[in-house]
Structure 1
């Protein structure tokens, strides 16, 4: 890395800050010089953001006022959903459709559970109000009466609502009535109003209403949070932050404050973008303090989806396709009624945190297990001023061993000589890995993809410790641990493009539609997304269409971009080519195609302003060896492993297993039969040694 002070001072300085459930991560790049920091997440969270920025800038010797670009990923929205701590929200909808939120869909998560209960909707029935109006897909049949809407506004005010969602029937096609209702409510009330034709201009009443309600539910909290972050950044001399959205792109803070629902997967999306910067075809594995997130990167592109469910709330908005499980470093280990060992989803969080934090936590967690197995050294620094209390971890795992009936001694070739606490730690490690392996299978095997065809990119504070063991379970032969693995979500913010999405339901039969019909609709979407970007001249626009065979209930999204298979040479969208592209996608997904009419149901446009990912390099040459210590591997038992200083390993170094690469923000574990190699950018490549056994 360059060390010349003048070079650093003339290079652009970029800052990324990701707030997680346990730690706040910071990545600062000046030229190809990377500085990172990890501090405990605080309450309120914006204080932790500013603390992390100060620490990173001090370590880099850079005044915060010298920062040229600031990007931020936040958990404010997802936490509000998980904790049901959003705004008191009212819903205004068409007469007769007050209960759409509760009726939902026919699908049930627990089909055979006679006692299954649906989650309560975000808006209780007493705060749902009906307006007499009617629009169809063809036009407005009965306009709204503004005076009736003012009466509803009075009822909303009496209900002490802090925000309002408006979702009228068929407003995606004809928003005239809905726009009038929203305007009257904004005039009469001093609260945010979310209108469905702005939030989600797509059909399907339940999803459109639910997404609009979620946006209204989250807007006051996100708006207040970003206001505090902006004010704190301004005091430090920082530029206003750009905020990561669920779609894997950033946008200016003012735009995001008006579309809170687009930030629900802000942090996980940043991590996947960071992983895509180091691998073209990969399963991304982000293990943090509270949960683990798994996604796919194919051909260097992050996989996205148009719908997801968070905390039992269905959301229809473009998001990075992430599978989340409640197994992280802070996940609590426990025994069920039958005495079986379980891990998560409850987490010890940052305060009091795992027992080994020494902050009063008494329940055993995955991190405590990693300490007793030797993966985390007794002298490790866990971020901020945290230091390890190994005795507290051992006491917590001793209690867990008693509850689970785990005893020490010789229980097989892989457990000879383990005391009860360490044997329990090994069990916690295995159970947590089994949970995370299921998440990886859900995005690969269950979708017809072979995990062995992908690299496993591991990051997060705990991901690199568990990655090789997970690869063993899944038959994967290569693991990539990026240089800034412990703060990769923060680093990914620096690699994220500016991205804006728009969609519109059109319901066109491609056999009957002309190229002009499609092109006209796409041009409208293009105009919308280009109106949101910071520099329209630098933006590119990708087009896509949700298509289906006539009579089907669900769609597949296929590319319809200019210059792609869905376009003609003249630039107009070609219905025939789009239908063929859909048929090929259907055959690839389901194994067959039909001789049937194809419908383009919803058209999509995405505007992107490319951001050049930071190029960092790692110096080396000094001896990185720090000695040896006993480490327990689940399949081989206790062995002596070489301990390396992860940050001192230079390009070309070969830390072969058994080894522990102890870093500032994360630790990488290299099991026996695995070999390591450090790339120029600091990425550690772990590969199964020739003849190494797959388990």
Structure 2
């Protein structure tokens, strides 16, 4: 039996702050925020040192270190990844440029698609041909060795190899990748290793992304491992986009799996905190930061996942936590469009100069400024411990907005900004619930991020949701989620066949290969639980539905697919069903978090005016850290915390759980 680590640390790197959570042997939870740095490893080490100092723990006493980062995301968003080359089948070098025939904006005549990650001058063709039935033209090894010279001459820092139908018959691609790895001293990403699934463009794009981010991930993890080793901290285990952690060595071989590392950790933290404190059908996770808001869904204790995601316009087909992002955060700038309508975002004031209320030179009105004017953020709030609020600057910024929007003063402008921001976020929640066949009234809303708990009550009312959960570590929940995460590995292989014609023995043999593959990535294969699934569709459809496949019984698979399709789309058909892709996942449960929480002091710190139900009302203000387990309170109220503020609307009640989580429920207290 594996012993629970006595002291463990989770570090999540964001665009502005690096969040750190330390869980001690006594169950204490100690948090810290430090500025993110250009070399993320510098900020990570500073954060570990700071949180250890606060806890009175020597960094060398840390026994486990989990990490979420934005290295891959930043490389894609900023366009500064590796100088990559692409090797593909003769005649297919332009697949990255041709993409799909859909338009990013149907009625925008000037709409453009992002430039390919690999320019045409670094795309190379090899004379080979594979069909779904097998190899027609084998690879000429001498041609590949000559091609390696061309790749070397263009100073490529990595290579992506994606040959036609390599997901089905990878022999030619395996030969090409092997020779290039022998001839070149750069990473080589092969599509049958990255994404063994059909759809040439998506497979090639995912492989190109892997090649594009691999050198940055490898260099970053190398620096970080050296830095933490000097302080006696273990090598980090890294959060993947699928919501599971993996060894750094594994991630270096599959860098594309880190593309959504941080948001995935937040969803894991929300699920761990809120699943057992509500009796709802699931959770809507709502993470509102400074620039944007991320929304996701958790059902049956598992985060919803997708294999159809894009980052910076580049499709990535590996399994990811299904996160919908909108450009509405605390720093989102409010403005008036040409038609006179009030808008919020996507432009952000960022951290420098930040919202006007930061007092650092910002003059544009933001959502945070609106929250100050509405009374949700108090004039004495320190915003992370370093910033003192400039209430007058916030009011002045909103007064100018009021003039532009023809509104009656800064308070009216603040109300408008708050409502517009909420409308943007409500639409995002509807996209992951109503538009996918789920009734949001059956879910609890889990609010986190610095701004999320201030807006959650209003969003819940708009959606007719009765329960809001605010975790204790809501301001650093992604870092907390790293400590609660399981180890998880995925593998998939396209196996297209009509379900009625599928040979169970052949399918089971393919599953055996997938199970062997995911078990090989697990640190302790004996502790792993393996699950299987299958992507199916009706004949003629171009999209699939994933259903469980603990054993391949065609009749059972068909019934699960019909039910899943009806649940997602509202109907089922009598048409034939096709098997498309087989999937396997290996999971090793993480060590449970036993968090100590007591609360101390007088929780009521005073009152202030805050806006509710169309008017400003005298509102009770609590020190959240002083609320003891089982404490109850009613709205209207504001809970001031070190990392965030919780707004409790009138008609809502609140209670505190044993670990410090706040649960808000709609309904008047008796």
Deviation at 1:503, TM superposition (A): 0.4
What is the match of residue 494 of structure 1? 483
Deviates more, 1:295-304 or 1:79-88: 79-88
CA distance in 2, matches of 1:636, 1:435: 20
Residue 355 of structure 1, CA deviation: 2.7
Out of 663, 672, 676, the residue aligned to residue 641 of structure 2 is 663
Q: Equivalences for 1:194-213 in 2 at 5 Å?
A: 194-213=189-208
SS in 2 for 1:655: strand
Instruction: Answer yes or no: is 1:17 the counterpart of 2:6.
Output: no
What aligned pairs does 1:598-609 form with structure 2 within 5 A after superposition?
598-609=577-588
Cα distance, 1:369–1:40 mapped onto 2, change above 3 Å? farther
- 1:415 matched to which residue of 2? none
Distance 1:434 1:534, change over 3 A: same
CA shift at 1:494, angstroms?
0.8
Shift of 1:656: 1.6
Distance 1:388 1:54 in 2: 28
The 3-state SS of whatever aligns with 2:420 is helix
In 1, the alpha carbon distance for the partners of 2:395 and 2:420 equals: 18
Q: Could you tell me how far 1:96 is from its partner in structure 2?
A: 0.8
Of residues 608, 611, 614 in structure 2, which corresponds to 1:629?
608
Q: Any residues of structure 2 matched to 1:305-324 within 5 Å, and which?
A: 305-324=306-325
Counterpart residue number, 1:348: 349
Report what 2:175 is aligned to: 180
- Which whole-Å CA distance do the structure 1 matches of 2:479 and 2:460 have between them? 25
What is the DSSP-based 3-state SS (H/G/I as helix, E as strand, rest coil) of the residue aligned with 1:243?
strand
Structure 1 stretch 636-645 or stretch 518-527: which is displaced more?
636-645
Residue 656 to residue 306, structure 1, CA distance change in 2 (3 Å): same
Match of 1:583 in 2: 562
- Contact 2:634-2:669 at 8 Å conserved across structures: no
Contact 1:23 1:289 in 2 (8 A): no
Partner residue of 1:476 out of 443, 453, 465? 465
1:654 matched to 2:655: no
1-structure distance, mates of 2:118, 2:357:
40
**Counterpart for residue 131 of structure 1:** 126
Does the CA contact (< 8 Å) of 1:42 and 1:48 recur in 2? yes
Confirm whether residue 292 of structure 1 aligns to residue 286 of structure 2.
no
Distance 2:586 2:396 in 1: 54
Within the candidate set 507, 513, 516, 1:518 is matched to 507
Aligned residue number for residue 326 of structure 2: 325
Correspondences of 1:387-536 after superposition (within 5 Å):
387-408=388-409, 420=410, 422-536=411-525
Tell me, in whole angstroms, the C-alpha distance in 1 between the residues paired with 2:625 and 2:449. 16
| 3-state SS of 2:273 partner | coil
Q: Deviations over 1:542-571 (max 9, x none)?
A: 00001123333221111012xxxxx2xxxx
State the shift of 1:279 in Å. 3.0
Verify the 8 A CA contact 1:342 1:431 in the aligned structure 2: yes
Greater Cα offset, 608-617 or 578-587: 578-587
Q: Quick check: 339-348 or 585-594, which moved more?
A: 585-594
Which whole-Å CA distance do the structure 2 matches of 1:393 and 1:529 have between them? 53
The answer as to whether partners of 1:277 and 1:613 remain within 8 angstroms in 2 is no
Helix, strand or coil for the counterpart of 2:523? coil
| 2:548 maps to 1:556 | no
1:370–1:429: 8 Å Cα contact kept in structure 2? yes
2: CA distance, partners of 1:386 / 1:264: 32
Match of 1:27 in 2: 21
How far apart, CA to CA, are the structure 1 residues paired with 2:352 and 2:132?
A: 52
Q: Give 1:691 deviation, angstroms.
A: 9.5
Q: Is the 8 A contact 1:167 1:178 kept in 2?
A: yes
- Tell me by how many angstroms 1:11 deviates: 7.0
1:413 maps to none
> TM-score normalised to the size of structure 2?
0.95
Structure 1 window deviating more from structure 2 (336-345 vs 61-70): it is: 336-345
Match of 2:248 among 253, 257, 261: 253
Moved more, 325-334 or 142-151: 142-151
- 1:640 paired with 2:618, answer yes
SS at match of 1:356: helix
Equivalents in 1 of 2:540, 2:126: separation in Å? 32
1:398 aligns to what SS in structure 2?
helix
Count of equivalent residues: 660
1:63-109 C-alpha deviation (Å, 9 max, x unpaired)? 11111111011111112212222222221111111111122222223
- Tell me the secondary structure at the aligned position of residue 611 of structure 1: coil
Structure 2: give runs of 5+ residues left out of the alignment: 276-281
Alignment of 1:271-282 (within 5 A): 271-280=266-275, 281-282=282-283
Q: Is the 8 A contact 2:437 2:569 kept in 1?
A: no
Q: CA deviation at 1:158?
A: 3.1
Deviation, structure 1 residue 495: 0.9
C-alpha distance in structure 1 between counterparts of 2:421 and 2:223, whole Å: 37
Q: Structure 1 residues 58-67 or 141-150, which shifts more?
A: 141-150
2:5, 2:64 within 8 Å by CA — same for their partners in 1? no
Question: Which residue of 2 is the match for residue 57 of structure 1?
Answer: 52
Q: Give SS of 1:511's match.
A: helix
Q: Which one of the candidate residues 88, 93, 99 is aligned to 2:94?
A: 99
Partners of 1:221 and 1:395 in 2: CA distance: 44
Distance in structure 2 (CA, Å) of the matches to 1:375 and 1:594: 51
Shift of 1:283: 0.6
Measure how far apart 1:112 and its partner are.
Answer: 2.3
Does the aligned pair in 1 maintain the 2:653–2:669 contact within 8 Å?
Answer: no
Q: How far is 1:384 from its partner?
A: 5.6
Is 2:90 the counterpart of 1:112?
Answer: no
Q: Distance in 1 between matches of 2:382 and 2:148?
A: 54
Local SS of the residue matching 1:279: helix
